[in-house]
Amino acid sequence: MKKPILGVDVDLTVVDTLASWMEWMNIPQDYIMPNPCSIDGTYNNYFMNIHGKDYNGINRYWAQKDVYDHLRPMEGAVEALEQLSKDFEIKFISVCYENHIDSKRAFLDRFFHGMEMISQPQKELETFDIIIEDNPLVLDGIWTFDKITQRQPRTLIQLNQVTHHADKKLTLCNKAVKSHVSHWDGMAEMLDYIQSGVELELIG
């Protein structure tokens, strides 16, 4: 029997690139409690408006070739995805810069052996049954795409392990999102509930 496909975002979902990004910009790491209205899913507006950073300067971080070379997965991610791989085909779906794509692939190979990664800025175009993603704008885009194309709606899970759900904008498509999850711990159990048809509002 073919396994359902579980799409998984990379940045701020399985690896905290936000902390290293802020260190690179010499910004104090008090980002965990920003003004909720300033977090639009990309953090760019937050850095520009609150810390006065230049947009091009912000994004030079992602052009580095070694962005992921010294990073480790977020707590619980490796164990959760290893467990989930028994019941799901895991597919990492991530926005990649040309310079850092090799570093990102090497990171995933190092910690998530044999799991596929696709570089795709338009995640709604990829094939998956469920997606775990931190960015509310991405989830809104998938929900809108499924509605416009009249396809079977996919299950959307917003993970807020880096910035707590109370301190960032949540996805607008609340009816489509099964849950806002605050930690990888318990993710496998939560997906069992989703597959059994139980509606979940908030985990963690």
Confidence at residue 156, expressed as pLDDT on a 0 to 100 scale: 86
pLDDT tens digit string along 80-101? Answer: 999 999 989 999 999 998 899 9
Q: For residues 157 and 122, give the distance between their C-alpha atoms in angstroms, rounded to a whole number.
A: 17
Contacts of 45 (CB under 8 A, 6+ apart): 38
Q: Are 29 and 19 in contact (CB under 8 A)?
A: yes
pLDDT at 168: 53
Provide the 3-class DSSP secondary structure of residue 136. helix
Provide the pLDDT for residue 131: 93
Of 129, 124, 130, whose CA–CA distance to 95 is shortest?
124
Task: Give the relative orientation of helices 77-84 and 187-195 as an angle to the nearest 10 degrees.
Answer: 30
Pairwise pLDDT comparison (45 vs 24), residue with the higher score: 24
108-147 pLDDT tens trace: 999 999 899 999 999 999 999 999 998 878 888 898 899 9
Count the alpha carbons within 13 Å of 116 in the hemisphere toward its beta carbon.
Answer: 14
Instruction: Please report, for the chain, how many H helices and E strands are present, in that order.
Output: 7, 7
DSSP 39: -
pLDDT at 57: 78
Average confidence (pLDDT) over 188-202: 58
Asked if the model's pLDDT at residue 36 lies above 50, the reply is no
Find the mean pLDDT for residues 6-19: 92
Q: For the purposes of burial, counting CB atoms within 10 Å of the CB of 159, is it exposed (0-12), middle (13-18) or buried (19 or more)? A: buried
The mean predicted confidence, pLDDT, of the chain is 80
Q: What burial class does residue 168 get, using C-beta atoms within 10 Å of its C-beta: 0-12 exposed, 13-18 middle, 19+ buried?
A: buried
User: Would you say residue 196 has pLDDT above 90?
Assistant: no
Contact between residue 33 and residue 40 where contact means Cβ atoms under 8 Å apart: no
Which residues have a Cβ under 8 Å from the Cβ of 134 and sit 6 or more positions away? Answer: 9, 11, 12, 13, 158, 159, 160, 161, 162
Q: What is the mean pLDDT of residues 55-77?
A: 90
Residues in the chain: 204
The confidence score (pLDDT) of residue 52 equals: 66
Structure confidence by residue, pLDDT tens digits, 151-187:
888 888 888 777 655 555 555 555 555 566 778 887 8
pTM of the entire structure? 0.84
Q: Answer yes or no: is pLDDT of 55 > 90.
A: no
Is the per-residue pLDDT at 37 higher than 50?
A: no
How far apart are the C-alpha atoms of 132 and 70, rounded to whole Å? 24
